């Protein structure tokens, strides 16, 4: 009498998979975060390129407080669940590092090129490019990380 019927087992597995997806989704970085970081980057560059100490001080303070608030919100939300370290895996970590490295490299290359060409406000213009890379690439990164984490769950095939 302790046998599990195939349809009950299938329902239980579907429920487990749904719960796994919910856990992974709670840890996902929301799209607004990429917009916020991009806007904060550009705001910081604008402040620094004024070369006025009061504006720079306010810009740095706003940047730091904004990054702390946005990141704190995302992290606090993700702390509601306990995720295994293996869920992201080496592939996910390398993907994150590659994304960050690519955005930084492109932003710096644009900034130095604009400065060499004598274009005004090279850091701000380069950060606009960096912000666009975050806004476009961030959600793509998040989707790829979601697929990786779901594939790394027990029995995951996605």
d(CA 62, CA 71): 14
* Digitized pLDDT (tens) for each residue of the chain, 158 residues in all: 578 778 877 887 777 777 777 777 777 889 999 999 999 999 999 999 999 999 999 999 999 999 999 999 988 887 776 666 678 888 999 999 999 999 999 999 999 999 999 999 999 999 999 999 999 999 999 999 989 988 888 655 44
Does a structural domain hold residue 95?
A: yes
The C-alpha torsion from 94 through 95 and 101 to 103, rounded to 10°, is -170
Does a structural domain hold residue 8?
A: no
Q: What is the reported pLDDT for 83?
A: 66
Does a structural domain hold residue 125?
A: yes
Among 131, 133, 132, CA closest to 43 = 131
Does a structural domain hold residue 4?
A: no
Residue-range definition of the domain harbouring residue 89: 28-151
3-state SS assignment for residue 82: coil
Q: What are phi and psi of 66, to 5 degrees?
A: -65, -45
- The token duo for 120 is 């005004």
- Please state the domain count of the chain: 1
């Amino acid at each position: 009498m302790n046998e599990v019927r195939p349809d009950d087992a299938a329902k239980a597995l579907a429920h487990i998979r749904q719960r796994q997806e919910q856990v992974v989704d709670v840890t996902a970085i929301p799209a607004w975060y990429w917009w916020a970081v991009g806007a904060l980057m550009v705001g910081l560059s604008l402040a620094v390129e004024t070369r006025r100490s009061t504006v720079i001080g306010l810009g740095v303070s706003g940047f730091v407080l904004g990054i702390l608030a946005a990141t704190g919100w995302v992290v606090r939300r993700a702390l509601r669940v306990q995720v295994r370290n293996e869920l992201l895996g080496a592939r996910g970590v390398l993907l994150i590092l590659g994304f960050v490295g690519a955005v930084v490299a492109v932003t710096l290359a644009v900034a130095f090129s604009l400065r060499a060409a004598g274009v005004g406000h090279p850091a701000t213009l380069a950060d606009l490019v960096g912000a666009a890379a975050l806004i476009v690439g961030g959600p793509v990164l998040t989707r790829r990380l979601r697929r990786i984490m779901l594939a790394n769950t027990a029995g995951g095939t996605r």
